Amino acid sequence: MTADRDLDVLGGVNVRVSVEAGACTMPIAQLLKLGTGSLVALDRAAGSPVDLLVNGKLIARGEIVAIDDNYGLRITELAARSATP
* pLDDT average per 10 residues of sequence, the chain (85 residues): 71 94 96 97 94 96 95 95 63
Instruction: List residues bridging with 18 in a β-sheet.
Output: 53
CA distance 31 to 39: 11
Q: Is the entire prediction scored with pTM above 0.85?
A: no
- pLDDT at site 42: 95
DSSP-H helix ranges across the chain? 3-9, 28-32
Taking a C-beta distance cutoff of 8 angstroms, is the pair 79, 58 a contact?
A: yes
Phi/psi for 6 (5° steps) reads -60, -40
The CATH fold of domain 14-78: Surface presentation of antigens (SPOA) (2.30.330)
- pLDDT at site 44: 94
DSSP state of 33: T
